[in-house]
Amino acid sequence: MNKFTSFKSIMNFIFCIDTVKSHLCSRQSLWLVEKICLPQRLTVNWERWRLVCLIMLFLLPDFFSEKIAVGARFDDYEIRVIRPRYFSKRKKFELGLSGSVVTNQTFIYTYLGSLNVTYHFTEQFALELAGAYGFSIDKDDKRILDDDFSIKTQIIRTQYLMEGSVLYTPIYGKYQLASGRLIYFDTFFALGAGISGVDYNYEQCLPPEDQANPDSTDEIPAPQVYQYPTITFGVGQKYFINKRDGIKWEVRDHYFTYDRQDGGCPGEPSEKNPQHNMTLQVGYSRFF
């Protein structure tokens, strides 16, 4: 009734797993978490089970979808609301613009601007093509290391990303604001693949005259961009401000392996290393 802010979601479990006692989690969400992700018989170590639950979500979408469809119709409830969906995405294109930041880099800030085109086959499934291009700024930590300790680091500077992803949207919900206005939202998961473009500028390398071996003739390589096959997965939400427009946020992990030699100075040994770029993305979408 006169709620300051109300929240109602169907299977908002991802959100609630991390904030199970949060006031934002409605009873419905908790019910679902308990029934699907956290069965009563699991008395201990539910951390592990929720992980299993999440893995199932990704690996068994059909099975899970069925469970969701059954659960989401609330057949066990004596009274329910059934109505045409407020916002239907089925067979619609979505064009989005967003800005993102790589959040897990120690020595630099990386900002990317991205454009994505998504086609929604159903309410649950969509295919997204996205491209992002950006730049990096050094953090103070990097300068201090160099100035005070003469330590030069090899930096993975992500210049662009090109990815295709499958989006799965098992959750929809709504907020009611104090004004009475309703805002609908979707929670989605993304799994995809693509290419990450990493810009190496070899600034950590010393010119031949400064090297320990004065006879060395190894020149500093010219700056270049390497491309790495990338796997990406993420989670996000879209808030529908009207029947055509939405605002979204998304957290993604872009995972690839790179060879240290690619961005290393001459003589650097070859060594395969994993790289996770965690991006936080905020943007605007329009549906056509």
Q: Which residues would be at the binding site for other proteins (CB under 8 A)? A: 1, 6, 8, 10, 27-28, 72-75, 77-86, 88, 90, 123, 172, 174, 176, 180, 182
Choice between 58 and 93, CB closer to other proteins: 93
Choice between 2 and 150, CB closer to other proteins: 2
Torsions phi, psi for 248 (to 5 deg): -130, 155
Choice between 73 and 143, CB closer to other proteins: 73
CB of 118 to other proteins, least distance (A): 17
CB of 124 to other proteins, least distance (A): 11
Choice between 64 and 200, CB closer to other proteins: 64
Rounded CA-CA distance 13/33 in Å is 5
Rounded CA-CA distance 232/207 in Å is 37
Q: Which long-range contacts (CB under 8 A, 24 or more apart) does 176-185 make?
A: 176/3, 176/5, 176/6, 176/7, 176/8, 177/5, 178/3, 178/4, 178/5, 183/239, 183/240, 183/241, 184/86, 184/87, 184/239, 184/240, 185/9, 185/237, 185/238, 185/239, 185/240
CB of 78 to other proteins, least distance (A): 6
CB of 3 to other proteins, least distance (A): 9
Choice between 182 and 225, CB closer to other proteins: 182
